[in-house]
Structure 1
């Protein structure tokens, strides 16, 4: 006989499977898996190509078909997510839904991003005794370097030392196999997602916000499923550790929470901002009177010092140093969805076309640096206004400000603040805007896939499909809300 806990988990999985929306989402991730087996995100040295070519599946019509399948998969997953928005009749457990939706990605190559291949290549540098802060991936030509995107082959590493050592360990675990090493990058990502799935709903209970809404908005969000699990980004482990640190802070284990922030920062640097929340969750900065300010500033300094000290200790143990500082601008080397990147890229193109290359470069750099400076000012203002008494709101909104106002923005950057947004008690208008942003980011991801597969026309279909789904959901939710209000009257 199965243990009681195991039997309960099986029942919860069965309940999730009984939901038509859950099965629809699973079909969506299966189609995304099929769409990933195309040149868009499948390097030419991938072991997938041998069977695909043997079956005659290396042609333009197949690339178009793969893109269409991926676009359909995005639509199905987004539709399933919207249909699962909390309501009285919804019984599926979020962890079970997330598990079912993730299963196809466990067999897939990294999707919608080449970053996992770059992680493996940086681990390969360490395997050969080279410091990724001093040597770009291209220093070691071969299968590892060939997997990485061209944009990152000639830049040094931007990730903190613990991330690099994890990459190194996973290359060893893969027995130096380039493709296997890239897919194993999902192991730390899955650990991070597991922490999010388990602890974020519990955090919602501690904060006093809707647990089901938090689980729906964050745990089941298509961006988490696609980017953090499918794409194997190290942001997953960073955010899992941040959520753990916040849970520890609510449990009044300040020192352990601050240490966890330091470990998270050693995975990815933006995690250090969580020290603000860890310091003030249990001791808000009530006023600017000198006693309140001195007490708050003291805790902030201590939390930051502990986090930075742990980071420094891990850096010292790694022996790698702080070379990531010189690569901090690397993400901004390509045009992304960040507003300053789009505006700067447009200025660069126009001035170059007008025969002013030097002015073009100056405008490109000036716009991005100016945007980053304004973002910094806005974050300080947010910290001293909202953040004093609502540290979780500052952490969520501050990260979102940084994601949109920085020199680069990718969809997985939005998970930093987006995962915590339900804990801030967002208004219905903010939730609607967030759903639209999610649809836009998914459309952008589909656009990248279509561009690389020479099927750019399909991106317009993706945009129309996702926006239609969002419009239908918004109208249906508004009608449902009105009906519930009438019943309660």
Structure 2
């Protein structure tokens, strides 16, 4: 976990050299999850963990994705609605209070909501929904059809993201491992957003590195992401839309096919000998 998330090339290349506030967000996020993990069922520590998560969301609102999973991790004993209210409410309450308090103290209001829309102005194939929209345009252009499919594919990506997040939470409710599912939720958030910057990968990576059993694919994505933006700020995806977008679209198709096949195999009854 230390080598993958803390000593990875993404940290010196983008968090330190680039001075992105994602470093502060990830630090507060991991600290909040660590406090919750260390003291489940204890109101004081759970409230403190929630405050840290709320401050992380004050830096970047996407940190709130882990909050429902942190509420599950706060429970001592079997998962029950009563236990969720009893223990998880401290985490959620602390996070929301910290977020509202930081917003009032900063005096910036809810301007971050309109700021989120600015991400849609960047068109780069590193975002799968964006790549699919680009590819649709490329395929239709030779037939004289010029359409902007980005709004549609990006909207579909957001709808799928909401469904995946809800599914992951209920899966964690049934199977446990809330921190692993929180990492998957952050991964889905990064993958299905309309914009991907290399340093965004550190959001889920910091939690994945501490919870995953296999890390090879995470290491590959880390190394590739580290060199997508050059030292002078040049973003390579901007100059590699072709073949970048079609290749990313092909990867999405392969991934969806594999997921569907895996789901079908999981539903097949086990033969009795």
Is 1:263 matched up with 2:51?
no
Q: How many angstroms apart in 2 are the aligned matches of 1:414 and 1:374?
A: 19
Unpaired segments ≥5 residues, structure 1: 1-213, 457-489
Task: Identify the residue that residue 82 of structure 2 maps to in structure 1.
Answer: 294
CA–CA distance in 1 between the matches of 2:207 and 2:141? Answer: 41
Once the two structures are TM-superposed, the CA of residue 274 in structure 1 deviates from its matched residue by 3.3
Q: Tell me, in whole angstroms, the C-alpha distance in 2 between the residues paired with 1:284 and 1:354.
A: 61
Q: How does 1:226-305 map to 2 (within 5 A)?
A: 226-252=13-39, 253-283=45-75, 286-287=78-79, 292-305=80-93
1:422-467 deviation digits (Å, cap 9, x = unpaired) = 221322xxx2212222233234335974869x9x9xxxxxxxxxxx
Residue of structure 1 in register with 2:102 after alignment: 314
8 Å contact from structure 2 (residues 169, 181) kept in 1: yes
**Structure with higher RCO (Cα < 8 A, 6+ apart):** 2
Separation in structure 1 between the aligned mates of residue 38 and residue 138 of structure 2, nearest angstrom: 52
Aligned to 1:225: 12
Report the more deviating stretch, 344-353 or 244-253: 344-353
Q: What TM-score, normalized to structure 2?
A: 0.74
Distance 1:297 1:332, change over 3 A: farther
Residue of structure 2 in register with 1:3 after alignment: none
Please give the alpha-carbon distance, in whole angstroms, between the structure 1 residues aligned to 2:127 and 2:235: 20
Q: What CA deviation, in whole Å up to 9, does each residue of 1:140-191 have, x standing for no partner?
A: xxxxxxxxxxxxxxxxxxxxxxxxxxxxxxxxxxxxxxxxxxxxxxxxxxxx
What CA distance in whole angstroms lies between the structure 1 residues aligned with 2:141 and 2:121? Answer: 17
Tell whether the 8 Å contact from 1:276 to 1:303 is kept in structure 2 after alignment.
no
2:235 and 2:97 map into 1 onto residues whose CA distance is: 45
Q: How does 1:203-214 map to 2 (within 5 A)?
A: 214=1
Q: Distance in 1 between matches of 2:143 and 2:119?
A: 27
CA distance in 2 between counterparts of 1:324 and 1:450 reads 24
Q: Tell me what 1:402 maps to.
A: 189
Q: Would the alpha carbon gap of residues 404 and 258 (structure 1) be closer, same or farther in structure 2, given more than 3 Å must change?
A: same
- Per-residue CA shift, 1:268-296, capped at 9, x if unaligned? 11122332343233426735xxxx12321
Distance 1:343 1:451 in 2: 18
- Partner residue in 1 for 2:131: 342
Partner-residue secondary structure (3-state), 1:445: coil
Alignment of 1:23-422 (within 5 A): 214-252=1-39, 253-283=45-75, 286-287=78-79, 292-336=80-124, 337-351=126-140, 356-357=145-146, 360-361=147-148, 363-386=149-172, 389-422=176-209
Residue 302 of structure 1: how far off its partner (Å): 4.2
Give, in whole Å, the separation in 1 of the partners of 2:35 and 2:198.
28
Q: For each residue in 1:25-78, what CA deviation from the matched residue of structure 2 results, as whole angstroms up to 9, or x when unmatched? A: xxxxxxxxxxxxxxxxxxxxxxxxxxxxxxxxxxxxxxxxxxxxxxxxxxxxxx
Mark the structure with the bigger radius of gyration.
1
CA contact 1:284–1:296 (8 Å) conserved in 2: no
Q: Classify the secondary structure of the residue corresponding to 2:75.
A: coil
Q: Structure 1 CA distance, aligned partners of 2:102 and 2:71?
A: 22
Superimposed CA distance per residue, residues 128-147 of structure 1 (whole angstroms, 9 cap, x where no aligned partner): xxxxxxxxxxxxxxxxxxxx
Distance 1:254 1:342, change over 3 A: same
Counterparts of 2:213 and 2:224 in 1: how far apart (Å)?
20
Please report the TM-score for the alignment, with normalisation by the length of structure 1: 0.43
Displacement of 1:257: 1.0
The 2-side partners of 1:418 and 1:221 are apart by 10
Contact kept? 1:272, 1:304, Cα under 8 Å: no
User: Does residue 444 of structure 1 match 2:228?
Assistant: yes
CA distance in 2, matches of 1:387, 1:353: 49
Displaced runs of 4 or more, over 4 A: 349-357
1:238 and 1:219 map into 2 onto residues whose CA distance is: 14
Q: Alignment length, in residue pairs?
A: 231
In structure 2, what is the Cα distance between the partners aligned to 1:421 and 1:279? Answer: 18
Secondary structure of 1:444's aligned partner: coil
Q: CA deviation at 1:327?
A: 2.8
* 1:311-360 superposed Cα distances (whole Å, 9 cap, x missing partner): 11222222222122123222122123011111112224555665545xx2
Q: Matches of 1:419 and 1:376 in 2, distance apart? A: 22
Note the aligned Cα RMSD (angstroms). 2.7
CA–CA distance in structure 2, aligned partners of residues 335 and 422 of structure 1 = 29
Residues 282 and 297 of structure 1: is their aligned pair in 2 closer, same or farther, counting only changes over 3 Å? closer
